[in-house]
Structure 1
Amino acid sequence: MPLFAVALMLGGCAFGSADYDGVTYTADRGVSDQPFPKNYRPELLAFLHTYLNDPTNVRSAAIAEPVQREVGGRQRYVTCLRYSAKDFGGHYTPMRDRAALYIDGRLDRLIEKPGEICAGANYAPFPELEKLTR
């Protein structure tokens, strides 16, 4: 199998629904005593800078402080965010909720359909996301 096909398959596993499938990009030791992700904002901004089709002029960005939630049967820190960003055609998408999952204090993945993980999240403005540049 060509290397680019393998990379494409793995890249597709980085995102998903709240149904945690066990694919992880950090060394998940499986411990439930997880450290608080101290650098969650800068890590998340760096990731979103490359994740978003157009990281400029994001609208209505909001973020919730990291809280511990059960994901895939394990306690993990999760921070929820919502925003409206531009699509490939330069049009704004509807508001989207996402959940950033942290393992051992580091960003591991972005869950595109967080469902119950972000239910009741206490959002606050996230102006740093709205100020991203290319």
Structure 2
Amino acid sequence: MVFRTVRLMVVLCPLIIAGACNRYIEGHYPQGTVQGEANVPPVNYRADTVAFLRTYLNDPRGIRDAAITEPVLRDVGRAKRYALCVRFNARKTTGGYEGSKERLIVFLAGKLDTMIDARRDDCSGMTYQPFPELERL
């Protein structure tokens, strides 16, 4: 009986989490999540991005080829949000470099909300600028 319950939990938990994450990324925020205007342009987007990546990356030292775009209002899932793209080549836990990857960073009410791996068309048409602040971590 215990093994049956454990197997059921192993199957159901990832499905529940995936469903919740999918709704979150598509712009379905529970009422009361955002106080005030959801689409306030981010003011300190560079500093917010550096602070987030300092905690997100396993090894934030020695980042190469960092570049960032200006935040623009765009469709993210089913909602319009300010978003930007950031591209960098970070170290893996083994010490080597993982290769340059693009990430899409979404802002909610002027604050960094989430970061996801960018799909092919997420960052197309956006102009990258050098991002030396990230390389100095």
Aligned to 1:117, the other structure's residue is in SS state coil
Higher Cα Rg: structure 1 or 2?
Answer: 2
Name the CA distance, whole Å, in 2 between partners of 1:72 and 1:57: 33
In terms of fraction of residues, the more strand-rich structure is 1
**Aligned residue among 100, 109, 131 for 2:105:** 100
Name the CA distance, whole Å, in 2 between partners of 1:98 and 1:30: 27
TM-score normalised by the chain length of structure 1: 0.76
CA deviation profile, 1:55-94 (whole Å, cap 9, x unmatched): 1110000000001110111110001010000001010011
Name the CA distance, whole Å, in 1 between partners of 2:26 and 2:40: 22
Pairwise CA RMSD of aligned residues? 2.8
Higher relative contact order (CA 8 A, sep 6+): 1
Pairing 1:43–2:43 present: no
Instruction: Note if contact 1:82-1:96 (Cα within 8 Å) is conserved in structure 2.
Output: yes
Name the CA distance, whole Å, in 2 between partners of 1:43 and 1:114: 22
Segments of 4+ in structure 1 off by > 4 A?
21-24
Unaligned runs of 5+ residues in structure 2 are 1-13
Q: Report the number of matched residues.
A: 117
In terms of fraction of residues, the more helix-rich structure is 2
Instruction: Note if contact 1:69-1:117 (Cα within 8 Å) is conserved in structure 2.
Output: no
The corresponding residue for 2:95 is 90
**Aligned residue among 85, 89, 93 for 1:80:** 85
Unaligned runs of 5+ residues in structure 1 are 1-8
TM-score normalised by the chain length of structure 2: 0.74
**Matched residue type, 2:134:** L
